Amino acid sequence: MAKLRVRFTFTPELVQEPIIWQLGQKFSIVTNIRGADVREAFGWALLELEGDAEQINQGIDWVRSTGIEVQLVTGDVIE
Amino acid sequence: MAFASALKCRECGREYPTDPLNVCEFCFGPLEVVYDYEAISRVVSRERILNGPLTMWRYQDLLPVDGDNAVDLQTGFTPLMKAPNLGRMLGLDHLYIKNDAVNPTNSFKDRVVSVASTKALEYEFKTLACASTGNLAGSVAAHAARAGMTAYIFIPADLEKGKVIGAAIYGPTVVAINGSYDDVNRLCSELADTYPWAFVNINMRPYYAEGSKTLGYEVAEQLGWQAPAHCIVPSASGSMFTKIWKGFKEFEDLELIPKVHTHMHMTQAAGCAPIAEAYEAGVTRVRPVKPDTVAKSLAIGNPADGYYSLKTIQESDGDATIVPEEEVVTGIQMLAETEGIFTETAGGVVISGLKRLVERGAIKRDEVTVAYITGNGLKTLEAVEHTVKPVTIDPTTASFEAEVLSA
């Protein structure tokens, strides 16, 4: 089992979509929301994702394909 | 002995023991080392520092590890050189270059990796690891070799050969990853959670970052125990920028130097300037960017310390400068041709940024100014090779006179 801590940033047109629920359903990932601020025009959520590493990777790719920005909570680790 | 007493979340303030952790378990905020400054103040003094080794480890009382067992390649205490020629060109009477390009693996990264690898040994990790595009890779591989540790270096598959060799020579396992920078970031975060390794800038990050404070301590000591009026610093994650400031403030709090009035000036190249762009927009949220810059060592699109860098700018009444890509090489040439120091692209950003700061009146002629040069130019030859045009002649005096002297 792998874990990944990420930040999702939603644009106004995506704020109403149940993306996090769909992520959990489609990829069998446990999505643990640890902080969020979702408003009409903007939203972000901090999540811990837990599941099969490959499923997490595919899930992140899918979330990005919807237009949501996904970043590691630690910032970039490649220096 | 080490005076680090805890780790503390910079967001919610929760404290943790000094374990290999980097983010708060509750709010995911970054963790920072907490020291027992009262105990430090009882032992630290200018005299004690002056009697220490001529390396960064002369400041071991202010580092979060036991310095007596440091993994040390003789890093630090690098030259602070007066730069009269460049100063004259720019109109500065008291310009200094902090030449950190002369560290053992030719960049400032040796400071942070020396602390991280020492801490890794304290925790009895057997493996040191990092994800890197150059400077960090070489430093991690070298320190692992020195410490007798196994090393894994993760790099993007398209990394220039020179940079791969600069790390591979020390004998680590070099893993080239097919994929984008995002993919490399993601994989390494997963691996750091999976394997019992010391990833220097992931689970060792709170300790690792503290190594950059020595860039502040040294400059203050080398200026005769005072902080400069201005510091010009290149920024990628923003960590070094915040830690130089922290170094000055700790020295002030410990009464090793007088009150600090330093203005911290951040410089970033236009192709990757997320922190400077936030500064210019007057916002505190740093919006990640896709890096596209010649200054590869500054190419961090999602900077971990972006927000805290903006706070440092605010606290120090400093600023941030975006240097156009075409001025990066100009800056490298300017420093090389005036002071005989060949810097990598990050230094070109600093020197061109400095020029812009002087031109807009942010730095006055008589103010003590320090430009931080953090890496050696031999690391980024590809950035400047187009500027080098040797004259070719026949092996005769006539040809020399015709092609060279009369040209």
Whether residues A75 and B194 touch (CB distance < 8 A) is answered with no
Q: Is A33 on the interface with B (CB under 8 A)?
A: no
- The ranges assigned to domains in chain B are 4-54+109-208, 80-106+212-387
Give the distance from residue A78's alpha carbon to the nearest chain B alpha carbon, in angstroms: 5
DSSP B161: H
Whether residues A78 and B135 touch (CB distance < 8 A) is answered with no
Q: Is B242 on the interface with A (CB under 8 A)?
A: no
Q: What is the CATH number of domain B80-106+212-387?
A: 3.40.50.1100
pTM above threshold 0.90: yes
| B381: CB partners within 8 A, 6+ apart | B162
Give me the amino acid identity at B217: Y
Instruction: Give dist(CA B151, CA B136) in Å, integer.
Output: 12
Q: What are the chain A neighbours of B288 within 8 Å (beta carbons)? A: 69, 71
Residue A77 falls inside a structural domain = no
Query: Which residues, listed in sequence order, are joined to residue B127 by a DSSP beta bridge?
Result: B150
Question: Residue B119 corresponds to which tokens in the numbers above?
Answer: 């801490």
Report the relative pairing of strands A30-38 and A43-51 from DSSP bridges: antiparallel
Whether residues A78 and B305 touch (CB distance < 8 A) is answered with no
Nearest CA among B282, B241, B223 for reference residue B96: B223
Instruction: Give dist(CA B109, CA B115) in Å, integer.
Output: 10
Domain extent for A56 = 2-72
Residue A22, number of CB atoms within 10 A of its CB: 15
Instruction: Give dist(CA B14, CA B33) in Å, integer.
Output: 12
Determine the residue among A7, A69, A79 to mutate to test chain B binding: the one whose Cβ has the most chain B Cβ atoms within 10 Å: A79
Q: Is A34 on the interface with B (CB under 8 A)?
A: yes
Query: Which residues, listed in sequence order, are joined to residue B6 by a DSSP beta bridge?
Result: B34
Q: What are the chain B neighbours of A74 within 8 Å (beta carbons)? A: 22-23, 30, 189, 202, 205, 304
Instruction: Give dist(CA A3, CA B398) in Å, integer.
Output: 72
With contact defined as beta carbons under 8 Å apart, do B235 and B266 qualify? yes
DSSP B61: G
Q: Which residue of chain B has the CA closest to A7?
A: B28
Instruction: Give dist(CA B297, CA B293) in Å, integer.
Output: 9
Instruction: Give dist(CA A30, CA A43) in Å, integer.
Output: 20
Structural element, H or E, at residue A60? helix A53-65
* Third-level CATH fold of B4-54+109-208: Rossmann fold (3.40.50)
Query: Which residues, listed in sequence order, are joined to residue B153 by a DSSP beta bridge?
Result: B130, B174
Determine the residue among B130, B193, B289 to mutate to test chain A binding: the one whose Cβ has the most chain A Cβ atoms within 10 Å: B193
Give me the amino acid identity at B27: C
3-state helix, strand, coil in chain A (%, to 5): 30, 40, 30
Query: How high is the pLDDT of residue B67?
Result: 81
Instruction: Give dist(CA B98, CA B234) in Å, integer.
Output: 12
Q: Which of B23, B194, B236 sits opposite A73 (nearest CB)?
A: B23
Asked if the domains B4-54+109-208 and B80-106+212-387 are classified in one and the same CATH topology, the answer is yes
Whether residues A75 and B305 touch (CB distance < 8 A) is answered with yes
| B387: CB partners within 8 A, 6+ apart | B329, B333
Q: Which residue of chain A has the CA closest to B21?
A: A74
Is the pLDDT assigned to residue A41 strictly greater than 80? no
Among residues of chain A, what percentage have pLDDT more than 70? 100
Q: What are the chain A neighbours of B107 within 8 Å (beta carbons)? A: none
Q: Which residue of chain A has the CA closest to B155?
A: A78
With contact defined as beta carbons under 8 Å apart, do B66 and B2 qualify? yes
pLDDT means per 10 residues, chain B with 407 residues, are 92 96 92 97 98 97 93 98 98 98 98 98 97 93 98 90 91 92 86 93 96 98 98 97 98 98 98 97 92 92 95 98 98 98 97 98 98 95 93 96 92
- Cβ-Cβ pairs closer than 8 A, A with B, add up to 84
Query: How high is the pLDDT of residue B322?
Result: 98
Q: Which residue of chain A has the CA closest to B303?
A: A75
Query: Which residues, listed in sequence order, are joined to residue A3 by a DSSP beta bridge?
Result: A50
Give the distance from residue A24's alpha carbon to the nearest chain B alpha carbon, in angstroms: 18
Give the distance from residue A77's alpha carbon to the nearest chain B alpha carbon, in angstroms: 6
Is the pLDDT assigned to residue A16 strictly greater than 90? no
Query: How high is the pLDDT of residue B273?
Result: 98
Whether residues A78 and B26 touch (CB distance < 8 A) is answered with no
SS3 B58: helix
Query: How high is the pLDDT of residue B163?
Result: 84
Residue A55 falls inside a structural domain = yes
Whether residues A71 and B186 touch (CB distance < 8 A) is answered with no
Query: How high is the pLDDT of residue B1?
Result: 61
Query: How high is the pLDDT of residue B209?
Result: 98
Determine the residue among B182, B195, B284 to mutate to test chain A binding: the one whose Cβ has the most chain A Cβ atoms within 10 Å: B182
Query: Which residues, listed in sequence order, are joined to residue B269 by a DSSP beta bridge?
Result: B323
Structural element, H or E, at residue A36? strand A30-38
B199, B205, B210, B215: CA torsion to nearest 10:
70
Whether residues A46 and B28 touch (CB distance < 8 A) is answered with yes
Query: How high is the pLDDT of residue A51?
Result: 93
Q: Is A77 on the interface with B (CB under 8 A)?
A: yes
Q: What is the CATH number of the domain that holds A57?
A: 3.30.70.260
Whether residues A77 and B23 touch (CB distance < 8 A) is answered with no
Give the distance from residue B219's alpha carbon to the nearest chain A alpha carbon, in angstroms: 24
Size (chain B), residues: 407
Q: Is B185 on the interface with A (CB under 8 A)?
A: yes
Chain centroid offset of residue A52 CA: 15
Provide DSSP, B189-239. Answer: HHHHHHSS-EETTTTTHHHHHHTTHHHHHHHHHHTTS---SEEEEE-SSSH
Instruction: Give dist(CA B276, CA B49) in Å, integer.
Output: 35
Instruction: Give dist(CA B356, CA B353) in Å, integer.
Output: 5
| B116: CB partners within 8 A, 6+ apart | B128, B198, B200, B201, B204, B207, B208, B211
Q: Which residue of chain A has the CA closest to B25?
A: A34
Provide DSSP, B257-275. Answer: S----PEEEEEEEGGG-HH
Q: Which of B22, B154, B190 sits opposite A53 (nearest CB)?
A: B190
Instruction: Give dist(CA B207, CA B128) in Å, integer.
Output: 14
Q: Is B135 on the interface with A (CB under 8 A)?
A: yes
Number of folded domains that form chain A = 1
With contact defined as beta carbons under 8 Å apart, do A25 and A72 qualify? no
